[in-house]
């Protein structure tokens, strides 16, 4: 069992997201994260799904996704050379003084931006791979994390290679 990153190109039609999420839940596949948005091709969206499974399960995931009429292309990019990013917003308890200074220092190390400052909290914005965000979360826990949201992972192949609609 390992985490796989699956890239899907879909027709941007009503219901396509529920077709895909429904397929995952019905067939008992484990989604870790899912990110979706429109892309450079008109009428299409790109999805990046992180899913946990062994080779046989991932093979089924890909084949079942391919059977959906609105799905144009499915690629497992786990072992390919990619750039992948997640974004997280973290609201941390940080009273002015030593605590806040500590939080800002950690933010600096992680190249996280402070995007909101309140009386007792600050909000950090950070992008990076999943491990980096996990690490930041762990470090900030000592101060008290009030709220934490993260997008799913998005990814692109490096260089000339790309995932296009030509099936």
Partner 1 sequence: MKTGAKLLVESLQREGVETIFGYPGGAVLPIYDELYDAPIRHILVRHEQAAAHAADGYARASGRVGVCLATSGPGACNLVTGIATAYMDSVPLVAITGQVPTFMLGNDAFQESDITGITMPITKHNYLVKRAADLGQVVKDAFYIAGTGRPGPVLVDIPKDVMTTQLEAEPPIGRAKLRGYQPTYEGHALQIEKAVSLIGEAERPLLYVGGGVIASGASEDVRRLAELMLIPVATTLMGLGTVPCDHPLNLGMIGMHGTEAANYAVTECDLLIAVGVRFDDRVTGKIDAFAPNARIIHIDIDPAEIGKNKPVDIPIVGDAGKVLQSIIRRLIKKEGRETWLARVRHWKEEQTVRDGDDGLSPAYIIREMSDLLGDHGIVVSEVGQNQMWAAQHYCFRRPRTWISSGGLGTMGYGFPAAIGAHFARPDETVVDVAGDGSFQMNIQELGTVVQYKVPVKVVVLNNMYLGMVRQWQELFYDRRYSYTELPAVDFVGIARAYGVDGIRVEEREEVRPALEAAFTTDGPFVLDFRIEREANVFPMVPAGAAINEMIGRRQA
Nearer to partner 1, 65 or 90 (CB): 65
- Is 165 one of the binding residues for partner 1 (CB under 8 A)? yes
Determine the Cα–Cα distance for residues 51 and 10; give it in Å rounded to an integer: 18
- Is 40 one of the binding residues for partner 1 (CB under 8 A)? no
| Beta carbons of 143 and 102 less than 8 angstroms apart | yes
- Is 66 one of the binding residues for partner 1 (CB under 8 A)? yes
- Is 111 one of the binding residues for partner 1 (CB under 8 A)? no
- Is 70 one of the binding residues for partner 1 (CB under 8 A)? yes
Listed ranges 20-28, 29-37, 75-83, 112-120: which one lies at the site for partner 1 (CB under 8 A) = 20-28
In 3D space, the residue among 142, 105, 100 whose CA is nearest the CA of residue 122 turns out to be 100
Nearer to partner 1, 159 or 167 (CB): 167
Determine which residue in the list 17, 31, 35, 68 makes contact with partner 1, applying CB under 8 A.
Answer: 68
| Beta carbons of 51 and 58 less than 8 angstroms apart | yes
Helices assigned H by DSSP within the chain: 16-26, 55-67, 98-109, 130-140
CB of 68 to partner 1, least distance (A): 7
Count CB-CB contacts under 10 A for residue 16: 19
Count CB-CB contacts under 10 A for residue 58: 20
CB of 135 to partner 1, least distance (A): 38
């Amino acid at each position: 069992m390992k985490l796989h990153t699956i890239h899907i190109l879909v027709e941007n039609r009503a219901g396509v997201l529920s077709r895909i999420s429904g397929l995952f839940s019905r067939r008992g596949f484990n989604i870790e994260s899912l990110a979706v948005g429109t892309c450079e091709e008109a009428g299409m969206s790109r999805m990046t799904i992180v899913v946990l499974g062994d080779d046989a399960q991932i093979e089924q995931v890909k084949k079942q996704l391919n059977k959906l009429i609105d799905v144009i292309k499915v690629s497992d990019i786990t072992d390919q050379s990619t750039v992948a990013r997640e974004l997280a917003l973290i609201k941390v308890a940080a009273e002015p003084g030593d605590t806040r200074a500590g939080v800002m220092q950690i933010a600096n190390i992680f190249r996280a931006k402070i995007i909101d400052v309140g009386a007792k909290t600050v909000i950090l914005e950070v992008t990076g791979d999943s491990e980096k965000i996990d690490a930041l979360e762990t470090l900030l826990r000592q101060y008290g994390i009030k709220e934490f949201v993260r997008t799913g992972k998005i990814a692109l192949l490096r260089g000339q290679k790309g995932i296009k609609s030509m099936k």
